[in-house]
A = this chain, B = another copy of it.
């Protein structure tokens, strides 16, 4: 039984030439090395005849480069990250990289393990939406030379390259919009672990907007792992206790879906009985009825920028001191869910 995968050597031997020659031809370097055209054709013909397929593992080992990029997010099934993955995948594809993806479920230990694993797999760089409080591990790797770009979540005072949006501003806009529409008791639903930088900033923006109107903030924290049931329990309790808010600002799209689920159960009508706005504009917000107002992030731009920052690091390991902390603006998308006096189009 031949376990032997077809290699460059086989082609070389069957033609009676050196494997150097075969390698040069296959890599298109024949011209530079003055290989005779006829020889080149013979090699290519043989390679096709035998069905040769290069072994990238061997190539990577020799080159010290894997042409692989690691993407680490909390959950690739979350529509926001799924879309990001898709966009990054496209950038990777046209640049001859492939993307490997892992989800952390906000578990710091798992994140560390994945990071470790990616490094051992010799990824050329990492794009990460990190759950870590202290970025020391990431920074350590970065300063050792591992190309890294943070997306979505960032850290002040760190020199790690990052691409994020103005979360505080987004939350501020959303909250102001609610108040302006006549919702004077908007509640915010945040997620724990609360150290996640984006959530912190969004809470700040929310609080600031309310403070300007002398309104009291009202924030509940939902734990990541079972947000669905926690939201349900919370809202049901508030409803029973007659302390239901007039509107809800969910700090990410997952919470919005959990809220929608519970509002359906409680037969509460949006926006008549309760207003709703969410951070992250996922696609179905727009074709629901009523449409859900949201703060949208420029995700194409985020991914494009992140990819560029990463490739810059990978390709010229010098000049790391470029503009490498990018903050992009968000957009307020107003739909029916925050229009107190309008109706759904039934």
A binding-site residues for B, Cβ under 8 Å = 3, 5, 53-58, 60-61, 64, 66, 68, 75-77, 79, 82-83, 85-86, 89-90, 93, 98-103, 116-117, 119-122, 257, 260-261, 264, 267, 269, 283-284, 286-289, 291, 344-346
Contacts and interface: CB of A to CB of B under 8 A. Distances in A.
A100 B102 contact: no
Count of identical protomers in the assembly: 2
Contact of A99 (B86, B100, B283): B100
B120 A98 contact: no
Contacts of A56: 120-122
B257 A284 contact: yes
A60 B98 CA distance: 17
A73 B99 CA distance: 14
Given A98-B117, A261-B286, A345-B267, A76 B66 contact: no
Contacts of A120: 53-56
A261 B287 contact: yes
Nearest to A66: B57
Contacts of A54: 120
Contact of A85 (B77, B122, B260, B346): B77
15 contacts: A3-B64, A56-B122, A57-B61, A58-B61, A76-B82, A76-B89, A77-B83, A79-B79, A90-B103, A98-B121, A99-B100, A101-B101, A264-B291, A264-B345, A269-B346
